Amino acid sequence: MLIPIIGQPGPRHFANSRAANRSGLRFKLASAPHPLSSLLPSSSMHRPSQALTLLDIPPEVLLFICSYLDLPDLAALAQAVPSLGSITSDPILHLQRLRIVCPSRINHSLFGTSPEGHGFRPSVGDLVHRGVMRGLNLERRWRMGVYFYSRDSIIQYERGRALTKRHLSHLVSVQLTKRVPSPASAYKSLHAALILPDVESSSTNVSRTLLPIVRQLKWCLRRDQLARNFKTGPYANPNDRMAFWTWLESKGRSIVQDGERLRLAVCPDLKRKIRFYETLSAVVAKGH
């Protein structure tokens, strides 16, 4: 009895087996029917050599594929292939599309996160900081797990707003009372206190630096006018002048306060006149 001796397979043997497997796989793929061939019409079954186009796919398959497309994609598809316009505008397609797309979008908006790890959906704290949700200690109640939309919470919030408005109105009224009064009211208060305002100080035609000079000039003019009235006025007569001095000593002290200005106005200074006559006499002496 002969026992055949089988040697170990070499590299050439493995290469030949792999090539045989590839050729067998190609034959199986070529001979296998198309996955959508059961959905195709019978006329296309007899054309295995012709390429399968988009228009050869049944409408049911196209509707199923289009249910995963968004509205811009459907509009672009209808514009590129006008014959598919009836499919892209089918109401059943849009209903199915809403059932597929909307849950994923809602899930993404509610529970999706950014690359940094921040959630797309704002929390109660974010809404409080943005001013969307308002209430007293709303964020603290939310963290404690307390229901913050009860009737008592709403009443407290409304009362808090009323107190805030009252506090703000009080602050505004205090600031308004601290303001400087207008010039008209200031003049009225001065007149009420029998303090007449200075004309030069309230005038815009006089510079602030010239105010002392203008006041001195006005005083000089008034002094000269008062001295002139004493010399040439009704008190030039000695009898009238004595009557004036008698009135001034008795009742005029309470009205006219005695001072250097009054003395100079009633009796002008003689230093300038004395100096004038002294210089005149010196000039005359030099001439002789």
The position carrying tokens 């206190």 is 193
Q: What is the pLDDT of residue 276?
A: 80
Write out pLDDT tens, residues 69-94: 888 888 898 898 888 888 888 888 88
Using pLDDT thresholds of 50, 70 and 90, give the confidence band for residue 180: low
How would you label 90-115 residue by residue, b for 16+ Cβ within 10 Å and e otherwise? beebbebbeeebeeeeeeeeeeeeee
Dist. CA 266–CA 260, nearest whole Å? 10
Q: What is the pTM (predicted TM-score) of this model?
A: 0.27
The whole-chain average pLDDT of the chain stands at 71
Dist. CA 124–CA 148, nearest whole Å? 11
For 64, the 3-state DSSP assignment is helix
* pLDDT at residue 24 greater than cutoff 50: no
Write out pLDDT tens, residues 252-284: 666 666 666 666 666 666 677 777 888 888 888
Helix (H) or strand (E) holding 10: none
Q: What is the pLDDT of residue 167?
A: 92
